[in-house]
Amino acid sequence: MTSAIKRQDRLTAYAFIAPQLAGTVAFVLIPLVLVFWYSLHEWNVLANTFTFTGADNYRQLADDPNVPKVLLATLFFSAGLVVVNLSLALLLAVLLNQKLRGTTVFRVMFFSPVVVSLVAWTIVWRFMLQDNGGINAFLNAVGLDGPNWLRSGGTAMAAVIVVQVLKNVGLNMVLFLAALQGVPPELYEAARTDGANAWTVFRRITLPLISPTILLTSIITVVGSLQVFAQIAVLTEGGPGTSTTVLVYYLYQQAFQFHAFGYGATLSVLLFLIVLALTVFQWQLRKRWVFHES
Amino acid sequence: MKLRAAIASIVLLVSITACGNSQDGGSGPVTLRMTTWSANEAHVKLFTEIAAEYTQAHPDVTIKFDALPVDTYTTTLTTQIAGGNAPDLAWILEGAAPDFVSSGALAPVDDAIENPAELAPSATALWKQDGKLIAYPFSTSPFGVFVNTDLLTQAGQTLPTGDDWTWDNAVAVAAATAARTGKQGLVPRDFDYKDWTNLAPIFDGWGAQAWSADGKTCGFDQQPMIDAMTFIHQAIFSKKAIPGPGVAADFFAGESAMTITQISRASLLKDGKFKWALVPLPAGPKGKYSVIGQGGVGVMKQGKHVDAAKDFLKFFTGDANSAKLAQFFPPPRTPQLTADTLAKSNPLLSKEQLQSVVIDGISNGVVKPSHADNAQISQAVRSALDPMWKDGADVPAVLKSVCTAIQPVLAK
């Protein structure tokens, strides 16, 4: 009897996860296996040929003079994004965690870009950042001469990072806010009684107690940063030169613009390995610096 | 238990995918799909009329026009082919022509063209392989210069004519008009510091070539290209005749004095709010010349109904329909290339404009640059040219770096 009920429960549980599982199998696992398979082929879509070439695409990857540049741009973008995003999100969360009038308005203000369509957000920023756009018009009005943000090597990457940070900083901010509010107030009281100053309190109590959230937000942000595509496609198309050609955009160019689907698949394998390695690395690291896990 | 659930999910999935897999049979009703890059209402209306006429004679055939955005047209088309969803007929942009023609993606259409002897050889050159016609060049559209004469008058400028219509004078007038009206001067349309092939209507005037005729040798570091690009660079940064990078200006919205584009854009001036003129490209140091952009239409080998598609192509591009299409797309058929015939269907343009820009343009025109590895080369050129688009750039050095970037691909 009991086992019959258990069995029934299990079936119900499987029935509930079946749609999600079907989606994961169809759109994640099967494509993942196929990408590995494609990466061993030369696939010319127009000529309708699909030839097994073994490790040729991987040799091409090792010899491709663009790959180091692309990886460097990806690293620059991810590092910039993670540092700026997490520090700004934490700063905002600490500021908005005060019991002051108007904090709700500010919380809504910083969070609202998260719910705006990514492409719409990026297109508006493209208009703002172009040479005769809103930002330079403002700078002009106060007597400054703004650079051509999206067209000069120095500023294009910075502009893409800032646009992306402003879009998503609210999400990390809310996660940090929730974590900050979970810190027991008596710990702060005890510390102050012991004579700790604000910085010591933050470093010795707040940071360790919100470390699981820092881990979570850093994983989300790093993995998200490796997937950046629409922003690059809309703002810079990988330029000027190849200064903003990150890995995802480069693989899009190879597969969909140059019709080299096999080589594009090889680049996706590289991207997959990088994401996997970073996630494993961060997961291992948690034992050392996440407070609850030790 | 876990295994069984996993198998059940996979079975479910396979059954879902299997539903979408049914194919049209060999006989019975046929739906032909043609991809285009024009969602222009007037164009679509004409296509639908032609298709309706065809369906009357062939009741079992339905034609569907699928308009894709032009800036991602080739990418979308290729993705559809890769996904096993190739259209039956497809428009092909001239830049992608060598790739499509040489890859074997298209079925030869010699037997699907009415009176092939009528086709102008300059129009079909890009679309032939081993003597076979691979796609039909339904649009052969020369580049010209549209001028906002209201803006010129406002700036106290007159449009140079005859032998005075040179690039030097065109740029001088554009710069003066821009300076006095606060609008922009001369806009090479769709260039936007990305699609450099839209500079061909300028640099061809210096006899410059992106690469040699056999496509093997880079031409960017040659003297004609250096001279032409230096001229363009000065027009942008010293003379302020061409808007700089990142500056948006639409001629057809009255925001610039002149634009270089194809005559098929004339339809954008239908409810024009300003007076305008259309003139041939100015003369360059090499004298008078013209540049044409092309669009072809072909039958996809990977489509489901190759024969039916060929039959419709014959109807769509035959003498009668070619004449109708001529109001938007200058036809490759020589008997139809007379100012009188074209004037009937082009109410916006005068006979003189049609003769000087369209007819003379098609017979003497050079097609915009294209190559079998077009997307890859264009992207490499674009990247390498980027350092040139700032004040004080070393033009010859940048052009040399373009050749360094593309020579390995050209030589392949």
ipTM of the complex: 0.75
Instruction: Give mean pLDDT, residues A172-178.
Output: 94
In the structure, what pLDDT confidence band is assigned to residue B17 with cuts at 50, 70 and 90? Answer: very low
pLDDT bin (cut points 50, 70, 90) of residue B263 is: confident
What is the chain A residue with the closest CA to B2? A14
The answer on pLDDT for B136 being more than 70 is yes
Higher pLDDT, A4 or B224: B224
Mutate which of B382, B386, B389 to test chain A, going by most A C-beta atoms within 10 A? B386
Pick the range with the lowest mean pLDDT from B7-11, B21-25, B360-364.
B21-25
Look at residues B318, B310, B368, B305 and name the one whose alpha carbon lies nearest to residue B138.
Answer: B318
pLDDT score at A159: 94
Q: Supply A252's token pair.
A: 């899009």
Can you tell me the distance from the alpha carbon of B157 to that of B172, in angstroms, rounded to the nearest whole number?
A: 10
Q: How remote is the C-alpha of B67 from its chain's centroid?
A: 15
Predicted TM-score (pTM) of this structure: 0.82
Residue A293 has pLDDT above 60, yes or no: no
As a whole number, mean pLDDT of residues B210-235 equals 94
Burial class (CB in 10 A: 0-12, 13-18, 19+), B349: buried
CB A46 within 8 Å of CB B105: yes
Q: What is the mean pLDDT of residues B394-399?
A: 96
Q: Is the pLDDT of residue B253 over 70?
A: yes
pLDDT reported for residue A19: 94
Instruction: Answer whether residue B38 shows pLDDT above 50.
Output: yes
How confident is residue B374, by pLDDT bands cut at 50, 70 and 90? confident
pLDDT band at A292 (very low <50, low <70, confident <90, very high): low
Q: Does residue B103 sit at the A interface (CB-CB below 8 Å)?
A: yes
Name the average pLDDT for chain B: 87
The predicted structure's pLDDT at residue A294: 43
Taking a C-beta distance cutoff of 8 angstroms, is the pair B330, B119 a contact? no
Contact A26 B13 (CB under 8 A): yes
Strand residue runs (E) in B190-343: 256-262, 276-279, 291-300
The reported pLDDT for the residue numbered B19 is: 40
Is B65 near chain A, with CB under 8 Å? no
Cα–Cα dist B250/B238, whole Å: 22
Examine the pLDDT at A2 and tell me if it is beyond 80: no
Kindly report which listed range (A20-24, A202-206, B156-160) carries the lowest average pLDDT score: A202-206
Q: How confident is the model over B60-72, as a mean pLDDT? A: 91
| Residue B125: other Cβ atoms inside 10 A | 12
CA angle A98, A100, A106 (to 5 degrees): 85
Whether residue A19 is preceded by a cis peptide bond, meaning omega within 30 degrees of 0, is no
What is the pLDDT averaged over residues B23-50? 83
Question: Which among B13, B74, B382 has CB closest to A22?
Answer: B13
To 5 degrees, how large is the angle CA B285–CA B291–CA B295? 165
Query: Residue A278: its pLDDT value, please?
Result: 87
| Average of per-residue pLDDT across A283-292 | 71
Q: Which helix (H) or strand (E) holds B212?
A: none
Give the integer Cα–Cα distance in Å for B3 and A14.
11
What are the pLDDT digits (tens) for B376-385?
898 899 989 9
pLDDT band at B375 (very low <50, low <70, confident <90, very high): confident
pLDDT-based confidence at residue B70 (cuts at 50, 70, 90): confident
Residue B283: count other Cβ atoms within 10 Å of its Cβ.
19
- For A210-269, the pLDDT digits (tens) are 988 998 898 889 888 998 999 999 999 888 888 999 999 999 999 888 888 999 999 999
Give the model's pLDDT for residue B25. Answer: 43
Q: What single letter denotes the amino acid at residue B81?
A: I
Q: Do A257 and B375 touch (CB under 8 A)?
A: yes
pLDDT band at B23 (very low <50, low <70, confident <90, very high): very low
E strands within B179-319? 184-188, 256-262, 276-279, 291-300
Q: Please determine, for residue B11, whether its predicted confidence score (pLDDT) is greater than 50.
A: no
Q: State how far Cα A162 lies from the chain centre.
A: 13
Cβ contact B134:B101 at 8 Å: yes
Report pLDDT for A287: 73
Residue B241 has pLDDT above 80, yes or no: yes
Q: Tell me if chain A has a CB within 8 Å of the CB of B244.
A: yes
Residue-wise pLDDT tens digits, A204-216? 899 989 988 998 8
Residue A111 CB neighbour total at 10 angstroms: 16
Mutate to test the interface with B, among A45, A126, A128, A129 (most CBs of B within 10 A): A45
Percentage of chain B beyond pLDDT 90 is 56
Identify the three-state secondary structure at position B67. Answer: strand
Average pLDDT over residues B83-109: 92
B247 has a chain A CB within 8 A of its CB: yes
Q: Cβ of A151 and B389 within 8 Å? A: yes
Which residue from B81, B245, B247 is facing A46, i.e. has the nearest CB?
A: B81
Q: Higher model confidence: residue B51 or residue A292?
A: B51
Residue A27: predicted pLDDT: 92
Q: Which amino acid is at A231?
A: Q
The angle subtended at Cα B116 by Cα B115 and Cα B117, nearest 5°, is 90
Q: What is the mean pLDDT of residues A114-126?
A: 93
Distance CA B179, CA B171 (A): 12
Give residue A266's pLDDT: 96
Whole-Å CA distances, B106 to A211, B120, B138, B329, B411 = 59, 21, 16, 22, 25
Among B297, B307, B314, residue whose Cα is nearest residue B32? B307
Residue B98, token pair as written in the block: 């060598």
Euclidean distance between CA atoms A167 and A98, whole angstroms? 23
Residues of B within 8 A of A26 (CB-CB) are 13, 17
pLDDT the model gives residue A284: 83
pLDDT: which is higher, A166 or B411: A166
Residue A120, number of CB atoms within 10 A of its CB: 10
> How many angstroms away from the CA of A282 is the closest CA of chain B?
30
- Long-range (24+ apart) CB contacts under 8 A made by B334-337 are B334/B118, B334/B119, B334/B120, B335/B118, B337/B120, B337/B362, B337/B363
pLDDT at B83: 87
Chain A residue numbers touching B16 (CB-CB < 8 A): 22
Check: CB of residue B299 under 8 Å from CB of residue B293.
no
> Which pLDDT score is estimated for A289?
65
pLDDT exceeds cutoff 70 at B15 = no
B326 compared with B180, residue with greater pLDDT? B180
Q: Which secondary structure element, helix H or strand E, spans residue B366, and what is its range?
A: strand B366-367
Residues β-bridged to residue B62 = B31
User: Residue B402 belongs to what H/E stretch?
Assistant: helix B395-411
CA–CA min distance B370, chain A (Å) = 14
Q: Is B328 on the interface with A (CB under 8 A)?
A: no
Which burial class, exposed, middle or buried, applies to B333 when counting CB atoms under 10 A from its CB (0-12, 13-18, 19+)?
Answer: buried
Give the pLDDT of residue B91.
96
At residue B175 the predicted structure's pLDDT band, cuts being 50, 70 and 90, is very high
Mean pLDDT of the region B68-96: 91
Angle ∠(B23,B27,B29) on CA atoms, nearest 5: 80
pLDDT confidence bin for B307, thresholds 50/70/90: very high
What pLDDT, on the 0 to 100 scale, is given for residue B398? 95
Token duo for residue B132: 């076979």
Give the dihedral sign, CA A139/A145/A150/A153. Answer: negative
How many residues would you count in chain A?
Answer: 294
- Residue B106: strand, helix, or coil: strand
State the average pLDDT over residues B216-239.
Answer: 96
Beta bridge partners of A44: A49, A260
Q: What is the mean pLDDT of residues A17-28?
A: 94
Q: Look at residue B27 and tell me whether its pLDDT is greater than 80.
A: no
**How far apart are the C-alpha atoms of B260 and B293, rounded to whole Å?**
12
* DSSP secondary structure code for residue B391 in this structure: T
Q: Is A272 helix (H, G, I), strand (E, B) or coil?
A: helix
Gap between the Cα atoms of B233 and B393, Å rounded: 9
Question: How confident is the model over B100-106, as a mean pLDDT?
Answer: 91
Compute the distance between CA of residue B206 and CA of residue B217 in angstroms, rounded to an integer.
18
Chain center to CA of B391: 30
Residue B272 confidence (pLDDT): 73
Please tell me the distance in Å from B299's CA to the nearest CA on chain A: 13
Q: Which of A93, A71, A88 is nearest to A165 (CA)?
A: A88
- pLDDT score recorded for residue B1: 41
Q: Which residues of A touch B375 (CB under 8 A)?
A: 257-259
Assess B105–A contact: CB distance below 8 Å, yes or no: yes
